[in-house]
Amino acid sequence: MPLEETLHAVDPGYAALLSGCAQLRGDEVRQLNELLSLHGIASEYIEYSGSVVQIPLAERVDILEFKGVRLFTDESLDRELLAAQTLELTHRPWQSLLPPVVVLTPGGCESVALNFTETDLNLEWQWSIVCEDGRLLTQSFRPQDLPESSTQTLQGLSYSRRLLNLSPFHDGSLPPGYHRLTLQCATTPGAGEQSIPLIVAPARCFEPAWVLEGQRLWGFSVQLYSLRSERNWGIGDLTDLQELIRLAAQKGASFLVLNPLHALDLRNPDNCSPYSPNDRRRLNLLYIDPAQEEEFHASALIHAGEAVERRLSLQRRLQQREAINYRAVAELKLAVLLPMFLYFLEHHLATGSARALRFETFVVEQGASLQAFAEHEAVRWSGFAEGVDDPRFTLYTQWLAEMQLEACQRLATELGMRIGLIRDLAVGGDGGGAEVVLNKGLFCERASIGAPPDPLAPQGQNWGLPPLEPLQLQRSGYSHFIELLRTNMAHCGALRIDHVMALMRLWWCPRFPGRGTGAYVHYPVDDLFALLRLESVRNRCMVIGEDLGVVPPQVREYLNSSAVFSNVLFYFEKYDGFKFRRPEHYKTRALAMVANHDVPTLAAWWNCADLRLRHQLGLIPTEAALEEQTQWRGVEKRQVLQWLGEQWLLPPQWQGDCTLRPFDNELCAAILRCCARSSAQLLSVQLEDLALLETPVNIPGTSTEYPNWRRKLPIALSELIDSPTGRDLLSGFALERVLPEATQARVRSQPAP
């Protein structure tokens, strides 16, 4: 489309930017590129096909506008603003004695960069470190005696950057943790004093003994809300999770991979995606089982009159639904949690009971951010009902959720599960949610996290989640990122980081229509991985990085060197995009999944139900495209049958060309057993595949077109796992995970039939 026509179809400000960029001179382009580089905005990337794609200048400059730096007015470049912005980012680091935060790692960054003017070099200075445990380290020095790394002259002043090496103090004196570094001039006490966070990180994440011993574990993947039972409130809850833990432990499972448990916005309950939460630091109160708490049984308001029968009747109807009615569930639970809270106020907080003390301890430990969240929620609920607009209601419900989740992990550990719960940290939060609103300036609210254009999404992807602003994140000492890790590593044995590439770079695109497709923005990857390792060790929590899709090679290097497990999916594990990878060739340090929430179930994939559904929704636009994809699926199915045959696992009735035969238990059991031979140390099967379910829980690229995140499992857990069919499907799967390596080697050495 010609530029003139393009300008009529876009936002007027973006039109001016496009026109202005087209008229730039060479020196202006160089100046702009310098500023873009300082902001970490990439000029190119490697796309899905392996080709290098140059990002248009206008797309990159648009990112600056998202950040509030508007360089183009009426199609002309504001050269003075460009110069001022560039000077701000280049001068600011030099004009401060210390950076905003320092993260040290053994074998990595072990020095602190100090900036001195020429006149300060021969003065006596003193650095001191207050360690996390209260110990004090201090030493005097002269800057001229330290090694110089670089120099700069700004506004007539000469600056020298000197490196203070702290590696000698790593051996016990300066252990991993959060410390405080202060620099001051000893010659002129009180002059030039500055204090910053000094964070020391370990070289690797937490590695349990079973990882180092090379053991292979298995478990289930579960969307907690989808669990069905005769006692829940129309949505899977933390009591259902306890039942699943007991059943899974009996079968020999070592872990359960959960969907994100983040708080959702219950004023808008239909916005139910666990990957677009209200606040990633808080829990979804719909997972609370009220009947687990003493206030539920003690409150006269809950059990008075005809309200009980109405509640039980509604509860039964919600249990029987195939899909979750989030609005009805929220109203039902709030109607009970409110009188529970009022009872707690009167009989515990007012009397200072032991239960009240445990609650108050929790509130203090969670700190100011939980209090801010509670006050934010109280304002949003103002006028809804008595009690819910009291900040203490949110504090109380968060306490209940945390206690019940903690009980789940404790039960898993008591029953011998090696890991227990594996929680999931979403890549971002909803733009109108508490996490973004309460951290003004830390998120870029005009931008959205997404993905660049590819064949499945030619216009790119927009996930509607405002990204963290990397410069502000660094200037804040990474406090928000640390809190995200800390709160999500609670009550679990491992944490899965959704879209782990975000620690290195994120695709920023316009949050609102009428502008371009976006560009990659880089993040302080060394520091973020270091903090991930530190919190992993402190919380004794393994880390799994979701690295599916196009992944820069550097990210793989960080995962490997930091002892972060990879995440792989059966459907995508191929040698050349064609032949399925033999189980023994899977990555060792990985969580391998047979399938997950973003891909079709095994039954849907084999029967091509996913393709037909995508065609009905318009995601596969034509009959010809549907036919083409169906034919390719037939090729993939033949490869699966060959893959099973090479492992001597192909059922007799599936010999020959059976690609048109409907999926059944025998084929499902064979695929599960072959996946179980994987050399990946972690392997999960989702509950949907035990039920041979075709209906997806989520279809990427849809919102209102399909009821995502609502579909329940068709039967109760005991019927699913303890039925004869469930036992048959799991028996070979579980057996393969415990077979000694010598037995597996003999199987692999046999010739294929």
Domain ranges of the chain: 3-91, 106-200, 230-416
pLDDT of 692: 95
Class level of CATH domain 106-200: mainly beta
**Low-confidence spans in the chain with pLDDT less than 50:** 1-8, 742-744, 746-747, 750-753
CATH topology identical between 106-200 and 230-416:
no
Q: How far apart are CA 286 and CA 592, in angstroms?
A: 29
Spatial distance between the Cα atoms of 505 and 460, rounded to a whole number of angstroms = 16
User: Is residue 99 a contact partner of residue 47, using CB atoms and an 8 Å limit?
Assistant: no
- List CB contacts of 696: < 8 A, sequence separation 6 or more: 600, 601, 604, 610, 613, 706, 711
Query: For residue 741, what pLDDT is reported?
Result: 53
In sequence order, what are the residues at sequence separation of 6 or more whose Cβ sits closer than 8 angstroms to the Cβ of residue 513?
A: none
> Which secondary structure element, helix H or strand E, spans residue 84, and what is its range?
helix 79-91
**pTM for the complete prediction?**
0.94
Three-state SS for 381? coil
Phi/psi of residue 445, each to 5°?
-80, -10
Residue 288 and residue 296: Cα distance in Å, rounded? Answer: 12
pLDDT at 1: 34
Q: What is the pLDDT of residue 682?
A: 98
CA-closest candidate to residue 695, choices 685, 686, 684, 704 = 686
What is the widest separation between alpha-carbon atoms in the chain? 88
- In this structure, what token pair is assigned to residue 191? 């002059």
Distance between CA atoms of residues 420 and 493, nearest Å: 6
In this prediction, residue 155 carries a pLDDT of: 83
CATH (residue range 230-416): 3.20.20.80
Residues composing the chain: 753
Angle between helices 724-738 and 665-676 (to 10 degrees): 20
Structure confidence at residue 189 (pLDDT): 73
Contacts of 297 (CB under 8 A, 6+ apart): 291
pLDDT computed for residue 740 by the predictor: 56
Whether the Cβ atoms of residue 399 and residue 374 lie closer than 8 Å to each other: no
Q: What is the pLDDT of residue 733?
A: 87
Query: So what's the pLDDT on residue 171?
Result: 66
- What are the backbone angles phi and psi of residue 348, rounded to the nearest 5°? -125, -60
Q: Give the whole-angstrom CA distance, residue 370 versus residue 401.
A: 13
Phi, psi torsion values for 50, nearest 5 degrees = 95, -5
